[in-house]
Amino acid sequence: MNTDALNELAELIYAQGIIQSLVLQQTCTQQYEIIVG
């Protein structure tokens, strides 16, 4: 996920909240990927 997309997602969550739980997985490059949600 690129930085712009991540920032857009963060702004959307801040404005509207999370409707569904997210399940994340940490990758070997110390980043996170969305598994479910």
**pLDDT at residue 7, rounded to an integer:** 92
Domain boundaries, the chain: 3-36
Question: Tens of pLDDT along 1-37?
Answer: 689 998 998 899 899 988 788 899 999 998 889 898 6
3-state helix, strand, coil in the chain (%, to 5): 40, 25, 40
**pLDDT at residue 20, rounded to an integer:** 81
**pLDDT at residue 1, rounded to an integer:** 66
The model carries a pTM of 0.48
> Are 24 and 35 spatial neighbours (Cβ–Cβ below 8 Å)?
yes
